[in-house]
Structures are given as C-alpha cells and as structure tokens.
Amino acid sequence: MATQALRAFPHAPDDWTPELAQQYAESENLELTDDHWEEIAALQEYYAKHERVNLRELSDALEEHFHDRGGKRYLYTLFPGGPIAQGCRLAGLEMPPGALDQGFGSVV
C-alpha cells in the first residue's frame, strides 16, 4: 500500500477505511499510488467543507489541486473510470448529480 494510505484521513466518512478503498481499487484493477490517495483525501475534504456539492466547483478544485501534474488529464490517468465518479467511489462518497457526464469526470 502506498505511503499516503498510512496518513490520517480526517474528513473521511464514518463508515470508510483505507482498506475498503483498497478493496474497491483492486476490484477495479487499480493499484493505488500516493497520488490516488491524495485525490481521495482531497475529495473527502471538499465534501466535508461544502454542504452542497457543486460538480463544476469540485471539478475545478481538482483541476487546480493537480494543475502542476497535468490537471484533469493527469487525473484521468489515475482514475480511468473518471476522477470524480471513480474517485468518489473509492473515497466512500456519494457521487454528485451529473458526475456520469464525461465532461465532469466519468467514463460512461
């Protein structure tokens, strides 16, 4: 397991664990790296700070967070099922409405 998984996830849902994310990742043929864990933590933090999740703002926040590594394009290399859709599944979060739209972070 990547070193990022060993850190705390202070914004994680109560019923979520890194081990659960690892199981989901394995079932989706993903090997989680530090950058995967970083996005999972970023998603959980975003959800914790926003009462209502706005898909556009979430997409922009992820783009900005990972800008130095290639932004959304880079995130699609990490999460081929979509940085928001697949990322939320692994982070134990409910996908925001519209997340299955290819323009916002999923591959349908």
CA distance 80 to 47: 22
Are the C-beta atoms of 105 and 87 separated by less than 8 Å? Answer: yes
- Burial class of residue 93 (count of CB atoms within 10 Å of its CB; 0-12, 13-18, 19+): buried
> What does the pLDDT look like over 7-39, one tens digit per residue?
679 999 999 999 999 999 999 999 999 999 999
pTM of the complete model: 0.85
Contacts of 67 (CB under 8 A, 6+ apart): none
Question: Tell me, what's the pLDDT at 101?
Answer: 59
Residue type, position 51, single letter: E
Q: Which candidate, 26, 39, 21, 24, places its Cα nearest to that of 77? A: 39
